Chain A
Amino acid sequence: MITFFKKRPYILFLVPGIILYTALIIYPIFSAMQLSLYEWNGIGPKTFVWIRNYVELFTDDFLMSQFTNALGNSLKLFALTVFIQTPLQIIFAYMVYSKMKNHRLAQITIFAPQFISTPIIVFIFRLLLDDNVGVINNLFRIIGLNALAKPWLGVPELGIFFMYLMITWGGIGVGMTFLIGAMNMVSVDGLEAAYIEGAGYWTRLLKVILPQIKATIINLILIAYIYAMTMFDFSYVLGGNTGGVGGSIDVMALFFYRIAFGDSNPVGGKISSNSIGMGTTIACVLFVLIFAISLLQIIYMSKSEEDR
């Protein structure tokens, strides 16, 4: 036995991590999968129902409409991140990387909201956009544009965009920091050569830097996807566990929470006779949605590595 470990000492280093990972990650996943095969509300007796929860989730109009709405909103958040936030992060990172005037101040200013917790961010936006106390609405009233004074954060059609604005304001700095790190790894020789060849400021970003930080950008996009699928706090703080009027800001993680633990789903209500069974079913579907995309990204990245 001792000889076995002497020959393979790395096993001793791996074991604690494997035990923790198994207990905290692998076991809960399999446990959730198992629970999704039961009808159970977390407190009463469990009944094994095989895949009936999955069938119900995809065939029951009430559940399916919530599922598609929440998934749609999560994907909207993801798309907004890819098409708005990521380009902005690249631009900001490039401006800091190229040491534009006051770049330190800019870096701190962009990163600082990261230190503010979600409820406070929502509160700040409420102070701006609330119908009663919002500064912007009061400004509209002062200048006579009364029709524009509205409880903007609650307008269903705009809810997702305001929520996205808050998420971006609060989190844009993190991705920017990753990108600054990646840009710092780019070979200076290549940039100097491009400069001598006459490439302008933005051309150097597009033609020299971006191709070399592609892996970081893809990773950021994957993180954005995972975030969009698992984000909960902004939706909950802004719209309660129903995700705003008509689920206008409902997202996948909130959908799971509402079914498993939600208030409109009080223990004892008819729907909640299966709250944990259906909740874990949604969690498993969510896991598959995240895992499938992550797997694609891993395959793509390893293929790119091989092609190099």
Chain B
Amino acid sequence: MKKGIVLITTLLLLIGLLSGCVSTGGGKNVTLVVWGDPDNQAILEDCFEALNAEFAKQHPDIKIDYQWSGSFDGLNVAMQSDSLPDLFWVQGNKSSAMAEMAENGFLLPLDKYNPDKSRFPAGAIEYATVNGKIYCSFPSFIDYALVYYNKDIFAEHGLEKPKTYDEFVNAAKTLFEAGITPFSLGGDFEWSRYWPIQVMAATLANNDLERIKSGETTGEFPEIEYVFEQFRDMCAKGYFGTPAGAMDESSAQMAFTNGTVAMIFEGTWNNSLFRDLDFEVGRFALPDNNGVRAAQSGYSNFNTYAISSKCKYPDQAYEYIDFLNSKEAQQIVADYMKSIPAVEGITVDDPALAEVSDFQTVNNNIYHVLSNVPTKSGRPQDVFISSVVADLMTNSITAKEAVNKIVEEMNR
């Protein structure tokens, strides 16, 4: 009899365990696996610990197993091997990846949950939309690349925050002649070596980018050529260190934060890296020669997540998306990341916010423009990011050749 009871109890426990969930008052205790932004674990980890703690408080029946997938490649491999987690970080319309995932049925459309769009600008909704359906949480912050500079070094050399592009170039020249490396560049990583061009192109080549955006993909692009020439020239002169591009991203950041290099082109997403240093850090959006400072269009993807179409608990997964869309979650992100809010009602307690918000226009992002060129078999954005920028940095091609390479790709 005793043995029978033990056996039945064991069986019941086993069934409970194998079913993977235990009923609690009509609800379910479920675990959702979430993959975070693979490139930004260092800056986002604390923020997501706080977010997930708050979510756990609000949803005691949903356990979040939050993981850092390690690399972008990890997401690609998971998709190709059909092993995506329940929820994962996506970049919306910043690249064509989310659209392709959605079109191939890897993402769950969220429209049936009727997400509240009222607080978000049209661009944020567009970011999350593919073919008229919403696939991810809405972005709620703005990100762009700008110049971070060491105010102490500038003061030592009688320099001030540049008001025009020429002043900016002259500041770099003055520093270089004084034996200071003007810029730090993570040249052996394709994205970090690209930031100077993203910044300069938005400020100096917006007319050309507008032409490409409107479908003009042939002819001369003198403004883009000028930007490429400027970048190539600065690299050749040693403004980015010798040789340009020998550092990886974190070494470049460290060279700036330890005070040996005067400036670095970086994104506002890395604001938190440049706080509490031994010197005063300044920030500026690059001005043109009329003094107009330009940011680049782009929403922050810190808190944009999608649900896998094979998620076993879509309703609970949507709770997480809904939470990320909430003002409360966005305030937590703002508290940790000090990002520029794109929605009303978020307060950011950071003296640097005034500096990063000091821009008069939001211009085009060159990578996004090239990504959206409708070509048959060309890949201008890939050729640009993986080949052209590196070739300019190492002085292997001229600015004219670089432009021609992109034009050729745009017309394939």
* Residues of A in contact with B (beta carbons under 8 Å apart): 41-44, 62, 130-133, 150-156, 239-242, 244-246, 257, 261-271, 275-276
Contact = CB atoms under 8 A, between A and B. Distances in A.
A268 B393 contact: no
Contact of B390 (A153, A246, A261): A246
B98 A265 contact: no
Contacts of A44: 100, 103-104
A44 B188 CA distance: 32
Interface stretch (B210-218, B224-232, B244-252): B244-252
A182 to B, nearest CB: 40
A233 B372 CA distance: 34
Contacts of A133: 254
B390 A268 contact: no
Contacts of B100: 41, 43-44, 267-268
24 contacts: A41-B100, A42-B76, A42-B80, A43-B80, A44-B100, A131-B247, A151-B241, A151-B251, A154-B248, A154-B251, A156-B394, A245-B187, A245-B188, A245-B193, A245-B245, A245-B246, A261-B77, A267-B97, A268-B97, A269-B371, A269-B382, A270-B375, A270-B379, A271-B379
Contact of B251 (A130, A257, A267): A130
Contacts of B396: 246
Interface centre among B104, B255, B260 (most CB of A within 10 A): B104
B80 A269 contact: no
A61 to B, nearest CB: 9
B43 to A, nearest CB: 18
Contacts of A242: 189-190, 386, 390
A240 B97 contact: no
Nearest to A146: B179
Among B72, B241, B371, B386, residue most surrounded by chain A Cβ atoms (within 10 Å): B386
A270 B254 contact: no
Given A242-B190, A245-B246, A245-B393, A264 B386 contact: yes
A249 B390 CA distance: 14
B385 A264 contact: yes
Contacts of A262: 73, 76
A151 B382 CA distance: 27
A132 B246 CA distance: 12
Given A43-B106, A244-B188, A276-B80, A261 B73 contact: yes
Contacts of B394: 156, 245-246
Contacts of A42: 76, 79-80
A270 B378 contact: yes
A268 B241 CA distance: 35
A269 B258 contact: no
The 6 A-B pairs with the shortest beta carbon distances in the complex, nearest first, are A154-B246, A42-B80, A268-B100, A270-B379, A268-B96, A263-B72
Contact of B76 (A151, A245, A261): A261
Given A44-B103, A263-B76, 4 more contacts: A44-B100, A151-B247, A246-B394, A268-B95
A261 B383 contact: no
Contacts of A130: 251
Contact of A266 (B72, B77, B251): B72
Contacts of B96: 266, 268-269
Given A150-B242, A151-B251, A265 B97 contact: no
B346 interface: no
Nearest to A279: B80
Contacts of A261: 73, 76-77, 80
Given A244-B188, A262-B73, A270-B378, A62 B383 contact: yes
B381 interface: yes
A266 B386 contact: no
Nearest to B260: A132
Contact of B382 (A156, A241, A270): A270
Contacts of A151: 241, 246-247, 251
B222 interface: no
Contacts of B383: 62
B188 A269 contact: no
B353 interface: no
B387 interface: yes
Contacts of B103: 44
A239 B189 CA distance: 7
B409 to A, nearest CB: 8
Contacts of B188: 154, 239-240, 244-245
B168 to A, nearest CB: 25
B154 to A, nearest CB: 21
